[in-house]
A and B are shown apart, each in its own frame.
Chain A
């Protein structure tokens, strides 16, 4: 199988909120990279993880499936998943797949962090 074309880096906003910056492609091949980033982001006190899609270059339906399974996993741990930085195109995909109904989507990092702070 092909190699994943994605780089993810983790920032800790505070003890309860982490951000994962995504640069590249979200496909099923990104699963290991995403799970590695999640485990880095997931300090014991973290209650919300925010995905920064500002660097997203490509996403297919396998990538959407990956986000669904990630969301379920986080819900099970009573954590929240939020997103920002989506272009209009990717906002449309979130709407079409109805991911926007369960993942809070924000335009800016400030907005997403504020929403995460309210949730935690």
Chain B
């Protein structure tokens, strides 16, 4: 009897299964009921180097003091209940398979009172962190990494955004209150996560301007602006909804 040969996967790097495997264009496997599916299918993901505005690294942290919880448990809970920690009025339609590498999630958000339909790619996911990357037309070009780690005896939950505003309109919006709105969003999220583990703790916010230069060559990203497209497509969506009823 021969032992089956080990698959060549043994030669794979340790992180091989943690990264999305597809190309840069998004493909939706399913559209959850009630979700508005706009500005996602076929869009390319964009990193912070493809955006327009100043580049920011913003870090939001909460120390889960006195909670006997391991980082892996925090991340498992966060992945499983991602939407439930968000402020009301914003929807994250998780893929059926959950937050796993390569999956695409639809986002229906309210920004400055306006609807915004977009999505994210699960770029990376392991037991202690996961990263969502944005597509063309999203408010920002970049990614956000959710992680948990032990620091000085306590487990810390963290969300870290590395981004530029995708186009001049979003950059103006971020400058005129958008950054504060985003800070409130993630502060709410981390407080809700901490509350899940019985912790009431402040959220530390740190913002670093990594690059103060705007990339004018990328101003043309405005043609993909998902907020404008969502608003402009609203009459058509209402018409189709009316016909179905």
Contacts and interface: CB of A to CB of B under 8 A. Distances in A.
A60 B55 contact: no
Given A61-B143, A68-B162, A98-B46, A1 B150 contact: yes
Nearest to B162: A65
Given A58-B15, A59-B15, A68 B24 contact: no
Contacts of B149: 1-2
The size class of the interface chain B forms with chain A is 35 or more
A14 interface: no
B139 interface: no
B16 interface: yes
B15 A87 contact: no
A37 B214 CA distance: 29
User: Interface residues of A: mostly helix, strand, loop or mixed?
Assistant: helix
A24 B87 CA distance: 40
A101 B49 CA distance: 9
A93 interface: yes
A72 interface: yes
A58 B20 CA distance: 15
A58 B211 contact: no
Given A1-B149, A1-B150, A97-B123, A60 B18 contact: yes
A71 B15 contact: no
Nearest to A68: B48
A96 interface: yes
A102 to B, nearest CB: 5
Q: Would you call the interface of chain B mostly helix, strand, loop, or mixed? A: strand
A60 B124 contact: yes
B45 A98 contact: yes
Contacts of B166: none
Given A1-B151, A60-B124, A62-B147, A99 B49 contact: yes
Nearest to B161: A65
A70 B15 CA distance: 22
A107 interface: no
Contacts of A93: 19
A61 B123 contact: yes
A118 interface: no
